[in-house]
Amino acid sequence: MTPIPYLDLSRGRRRFESALAERWRRVLEANAYVLGEEVRTFESAFADYLGAARVVGVANGTDALTLALRALGVGPGDEVLVPAFSFFATAEAVVLAGGRPIFCDVDESTYNLDPEDAAARWTPRTVGVVGVHLYGRPFDAESLAALASRQGGFLLEDAAQAQGARRRGRRVGTLGALAAWSFYPTKNLGAFGDAGAVSGPDAALVERVHRLANHGQTSRYHHVEIGTNSRLDSLQAAVLNLKLAALDDDNASRRELAALYRERLAGVGDLRFPADDPADEPVYHQLTIATAERDALQKFLAERGIGSSVHYPSPLHRQPALAALLPEPPELPRAERAAREVLCLPMFPELEPAEVEAVASAVADFFAGGARS
């Protein structure tokens, strides 16, 4: 059987290579490598695409989260609620900004932060909550925004995995006080290196991020606060400008492939798919299934040349670096179960429907007893 990769970045790269060569030549000729024309073009195009007041490019998604938290005023002793099931950077950024991450459980049917659990963990020291649109599926922004506003705190969106997704008709990235983006190469909108951005409905707040990302500088060599160096470079912005124009089509391809997976795998074994809310538009950054036999299934697929990946094998409160900050391990049974059971199958816009059919029939074989033969 021909191997089916979990992710093949070459297929995507080939689509953009020749147009990019021309754009990169212009950047090189202008000697404008950092915060040049391509960056300004991208910031305004992405703001238009989202319907956000302002977007500012930064060096990567981790910086986007950290700088957004700093701009929102997070400081020593401040508690920030985060889902216990996400990529490490969601909680790491809280610590980098000087705050304390408080882990909340996730909703079993979406893997996103459970607003009721978040409400129960809000204390007088809590200053805000970070929701993550995990796997490209929008979280319940209305409930979390209502909780934040009731408590006088902020809602920050970690939108790293959800470029182009819509919640109740609105683009994610416009639902909280600020949103942090990663354009790591594997993302739905991916650069050819590290890149990130912060967006938001309040242009002045996003400008604050811009200042922090550029050494706290208000004019040349005049620094009013300690910032950092986290700027988007022009070569990466040129990639993002090209790829932004293709994002909606690419996301539509992902949704079609996801529908095919769902159809072919309906009723197979104990497989569960995350719930899709018909009022939302997820963008399938990952195609995620869950089964009690996850590890055996992954091994079975690997033996047949089919790639898959576990996002994520450990909940955040079990990560040594974060566990060390906790007085005692919190009870987060749904995040624990997700970490034991989820498996991400091949999903990228250039994946062929025939490859999805082949992956689905291998999964079905596993549950039909192939694993035990």
Ligand X SMILES: Cc1ncc(COP(=O)(O)O)c(C=O)c1O
DSSP 3-state of 56: strand
* Shortest spacing between CB 73 and ligand X, in angstroms: 20
Q: Which of 173, 196, 346, 349 binds ligand X (CB under 6 A)?
A: 196
Q: Does 60 bind ligand X (CB under 6 A)?
A: yes
What's the start-to-end Cα distance of the chain, in Å?
18
Q: Rg for the chain (alpha carbons), in Å?
A: 21
User: Of 93, 162, 104, nearest to 133 (Cα)?
Assistant: 162
DSSP 276: P
- With CB atoms as reference, the residue minimizing the distance to ligand X is 61
Residue 328: how many CA atoms within 13 Å on its side-chain side?
A: 1
* Shortest spacing between CB 104 and ligand X, in angstroms: 15
Query: With contact defined as beta carbons under 8 Å apart, do 74 and 88 qualify?
Result: no
Q: Does 344 bind ligand X (CB under 6 A)?
A: no
- Give the range of 41-49, 55-63, 67-75, 262-270 binding ligand X by CB under 6 A: 55-63
Query: With contact defined as beta carbons under 8 Å apart, do 159 and 167 qualify?
Result: no
Q: Which of 66, 161, 199, 288 binds ligand X (CB under 6 A)?
A: 161
Residues 6+ apart with CB under 8 A from 223: 215, 216, 217
- Compare residues 161 and 234 and give the one whose CB is closer to ligand X: 161
Residues in 85-104 at the binding interface with ligand X, rule: CB under 6 A: 86-87, 89-90
Query: Cα dist. 171→165, 232, 283, 305, 320 in Å?
Result: 6, 22, 11, 37, 35
Residues in 117-156 at the binding interface with ligand X, rule: CB under 6 A: 132
Q: Which of 135, 184, 300, 366 binds ligand X (CB under 6 A)?
A: 184
- For residues 313 to 342, the per-residue mask of contacts with ligand X, x marking binding by CB under 6 A and - elsewhere, is ------------------------------
Residues in 209-238 at the binding interface with ligand X, rule: CB under 6 A: none
Interface residues with ligand X (CB under 6 A) are 60-62, 65, 86-87, 89-90, 132, 158, 160-161, 182, 184, 194, 196
